[in-house]
Amino acid sequence: MKTIKGPGLFLAQFVGAAPPFDTLAGIARWAAGLGYTAIQIPTNERRFFDLDTAAESQTYCDELRGMLADLGLQISELSTHIQGQLVAVHPAYAPMFDGFAPPQVRGNATARQHWAIDQVRKGATASRRLGLTESVTFSGALAWPYVYPWPQRPAGLIDEAFGELARLWRPILDHYDAAGVNLCYELHPCEDLFDGATFEMFLDRVGNHRRCHINYDASHFIKQGLDYLEFIDFYHERIKMFHVKDAEFNPSGRQGMFSGYQPWLKRAARDRSLGDGQVDFKGIFSKLAECDYAGWAVYEWECCLMHPEEAARKGAPFIAEHIIHVTDKTFDDFAGTGADRTTTRHLLGLG
């Protein structure tokens, strides 16, 4: 068994215009002061991390790692969530997702997609230069508008969508393979990969690609009514990343999983700060330790109530207290009999 690494902090939700949240050095120093030992870096924030330069320059990557090491920090992984979202965009969402893209490709679906694919590929190259073995992304979505089967879906609609999704991602996965990096999809509502069944559909279509993996986040599962602990039993061999995020699901006579178009504060399914939701983190950390998960436990703050800085302050000790320093011996070793094979055979009546 291996001991999970952590605590780490995903920086995306903490980026801001005021110090210390306006520079990577500033936010890294702040995170280290809270007790985090690693940061997960969003690659769409150029003032924090220049993905284009990182993919080209080993010097840039070495200097970045050195700066963080001086603060007692490592990079856990790079995130291409925003760019991955744009690899596959249903036209209904194009006007909104255009805001994720640079101005020069907005309004041009083909140019936007080419830019996104290039960015995700650069995430692999940059990860290799940084000595990282995992990276996280979103799958994008073509079939999501048809998630509920009404009106009746035409035969072949979902197969066509997942076939196209695999066609887009297979060359990217090959690029990650060449870089020696696992690409971990965050299974998330509004992505075509949002649960175990959809991940299996995709995995089958990319030929069980050895670089196709999962970023495990129970918050997205509890809000769907999915058994997030049994999920680990099913998919632990593909779980290579772990977002520690809490959530709650409180269905009522007025709303359930879909939450009635309500704002986050009024939804039956909503995100909470660590320890304030319903996720069984003791169960999760135990299962992951049992399954030999050796990656990072990274806090992703999303909460409709608690201020992010307060949540981050509480998050580091919460994760540290849940990490199980795995044993290297069996608890009843003290009572070992020391019997040799001759004795063992005698005990079995084998002479």
Q: Is the pLDDT of residue 115 over 90?
A: yes
Q: Is the pLDDT of residue 134 over 90?
A: yes
User: Mean pLDDT throughout 248-265?
Assistant: 97
For residue 327, what pLDDT band results from cuts at 50, 70 and 90? Answer: confident
- Pairs from 59-67 (Cβ < 8 Å, separation ≥ 24): 61/126, 61/129, 61/130, 64/24, 64/130, 65/130, 65/131, 67/25, 67/28
Identity of the residue numbered 293: Y
Give pLDDT, residue 334.
77
For residue 338, what pLDDT band results from cuts at 50, 70 and 90? Answer: confident
Strand partners, 80: 137
Instruction: Return d(Cα 12, Cα 40) in angstroms, integer.
Output: 8
- Nearest alpha-carbon partner for 43 in 32, 51, 55: 51
For residue 292, what pLDDT band results from cuts at 50, 70 and 90? Answer: very high
Q: What are the strands, taking DSSP E only, across the chain?
A: 5-10, 38-42, 74-80, 134-137, 182-186, 212-216, 239-244, 246-249, 269-272, 296-299
Question: Residue ranges per domain, the chain?
Answer: 5-347
Give pLDDT, residue 335.
76
User: Mean pLDDT throughout 177-198?
Assistant: 98
Give pLDDT, residue 329.
85
User: Mean pLDDT throughout 33-49?
Assistant: 96
For residue 331, what pLDDT band results from cuts at 50, 70 and 90? Answer: confident
Name the least confident of 55-59, 304-308, 347-351. 347-351
| 48: DSSP letter | T
User: What integer best gives the mean pLDDT of the chain?
Assistant: 97
For residue 339, what pLDDT band results from cuts at 50, 70 and 90? Answer: confident
Instruction: Return d(Cα 278, Cα 249) in angstroms, integer.
Output: 8
Q: Which helix or strand (DSSP H or E) is residue 62 part of?
A: helix 58-70
User: Mean pLDDT throughout 281-302?
Assistant: 97
For residue 174, what pLDDT band results from cuts at 50, 70 and 90? Answer: very high
Q: Is the pLDDT of residue 276 over 90?
A: yes
Name the least confident of 233-242, 299-308, 318-327, 334-343. 334-343
Give pLDDT, residue 1.
82
Query: Which tokens go with 69?
Result: 């090491």
| CA angle, 119 then 123 then 127, to 5° | 165
What is 5-347's CATH number? 3.20.20.150
Give pLDDT, residue 336.
82
What angle, rounded to 10 degrees, do the helices at 228-235 and 281-290 form?
A: 10
Helix, strand, coil: what percent of the chain each, to 5? 45, 15, 40
Handedness of CA 132, 42, 215, 166 (dihedral sign): negative
| CA angle, 213 then 127 then 244, to 5° | 50
- Nearest alpha-carbon partner for 269 in 304, 309, 299: 304
Instruction: Return d(Cα 214, Cα 183) in angstroms, integer.
Output: 8
Question: Are 245 and 300 spatial neighbours (Cβ–Cβ below 8 Å)?
Answer: yes
